[in-house]
Structure 1
Amino acid sequence: MDKLIRPGRIIYAIGIMALGVLCFIMKDFIVGRPPAASWAANIPGKLAWAYVSGSLLILAGLAVIFNVRGGIASLLIGVIILLFSFVLRHLYEMIDWINAYKALALAGGSFIVAASFFQKGGNDQGTLAGNSKLIFTGCLFLSFFFIISGLAHFRFADFIKSGFIPAYIPFHPFWTYFCGICLLAGGIGLLIPGLRKWAALLSGIMIGGWFILLHTVRFANDTSNSSDRLGLCESFTFVGILFVLAGMLSKKQ
Structure 2
Amino acid sequence: MDGLLKAGRLFFAIAMALFGVEYFIYVAGLKGPIPGPPWIPGSHAVAVLTGAALIAVAVCIVTEKLARLAAALLGVALFLYVLFLQLPRLIAQPHSPDPWTSGFELLALMGGAFVLARIEIPDGLRLEPTNKVLSHLAIFGRVGFALALVVFAVQHFLYAKFVATIVPAWIPARLFWSYFVGVAFVAAALAIVTRQMARTASILLGTMFFIWVVILHVPRVAAQPRNGDEFTSLLVALAMSGASFILAESFAPDLVA
Determine if the TM-score, normalized by the shorter chain, exceeds 0.5: yes
| Paired residues of 1:74 and 1:111 also in contact (CA < 8 A) | yes
Match of 2:30 in 1: none
Match of 1:206 in 2: 208
| Paired residues of 1:2 and 1:248 also in contact (CA < 8 A) | no
| Paired residues of 2:36 and 2:229 also in contact (CA < 8 A) | no
Q: Distance in 2 between matches of 1:141 and 1:181?
A: 18
| Paired residues of 1:20 and 1:53 also in contact (CA < 8 A) | yes
Residues 187-226 of structure 1 mapped to structure 2, 5 A cutoff: 187-226=189-228
| Paired residues of 2:16 and 2:54 also in contact (CA < 8 A) | yes
Counterpart of 1:33, as a letter, is P
Match of 2:66 in 1: 69
Match of 1:12 in 2: 12
Match of 1:158 in 2: 161
Q: How many residues get paired?
A: 240
Q: Which runs of 5+ in 1 are unaligned?
A: none
Residues 2-41 of structure 1 mapped to structure 2, 5 A cutoff: 2-27=2-27, 30=35, 33-34=38-39
Q: Distance in 2 between matches of 1:107 and 1:215?
A: 22
| Paired residues of 1:86 and 1:101 also in contact (CA < 8 A) | no
CA RMSD of superposed structures (Å): 2.4
Instruction: Note if 1:54 corresponds to 2:51.
Output: yes
Q: Distance in 2 between matches of 1:128 and 1:232?
A: 33
Q: Distance in 1 between matches of 2:193 and 2:122?
A: 21
Structure 1 counterpart of 2:149, from 146, 150, 165: 146
Q: Per-residue deviation at 1:194?
A: 2.5
Q: Distance in 2 between matches of 1:3 and 1:229?
A: 27
1:127–1:51 CA distance, 2 compared to 1 (3 A): closer
Q: Going by fraction, where is helix more abundant, 1 or 2?
A: 1
Counterpart of 2:227, as a letter, is N
| Paired residues of 1:81 and 1:103 also in contact (CA < 8 A) | yes
Identity in percent: 27
Counterpart of 1:184, as a letter, is V
Can you list the C-alpha shifts for 1:105-143, whole angstroms capped at 9, x where unaligned? 11111111111115787xxxx944333212211111111
